Structure 1
Amino acid sequence: MQVDRSTVRYPSRRGDDAELRDAIKRVSRERRRFGCRRVHVMIAREGFAVNHKKVRRIYTEEKLQVRRRGGRKRALGTRKPMVLPVMVLTRDGH
């Protein structure tokens, strides 16, 4: 293949993100309507100096997502046609 041996066996230098993962999970549990961007802002406020791309990677790896709100309630079953009032005449014409 003519690939340098050091390239193929390159060890990953990615550090341990356990503390950051816990913080992201905690914020997303507290604020269920917050997406990845707002979670990144909250993490930054807590003092984590982390890139938004790293927050997104961890957010998707942990399978976190914004909770869906309920949809519009629709009528169940079939609808009856609207009943029109019938004019009743009395003997004197009113």
Structure 2
Amino acid sequence: PTRTDGVPAPDANFFVTQIIALKFADANQVRAALTPLISKSAGLAVYAPGNILVLSDTKANVQRIKEIVQQMDVQPGDVDFAVIPLQ
């Protein structure tokens, strides 16, 4: 089922649908990066006019993907890069 009331699902194996609005990253590019990370039974769609991801997966996987999306959806100037030489 799709929850819209903000009440958390009771357990991590419960299937949920999450709508994730992106501010900076392109939803199609984020979907391409996330597709290998979601389970085979999951669904990941893009609503391009709103730059929105629609993710259906277990509660635990949705939480993990949301954390990854937060790291990807940053203003371009907010990304720090470092070169670390390997020995």
> By the TM > 0.5 criterion, same fold?
no
TM-score by length of 1: 0.24
Query: Which one scores higher on RCO, CA 8 angstroms, separation ≥ 6?
Result: 2
Judging by fraction of residues, say which structure has more strand.
Answer: 2
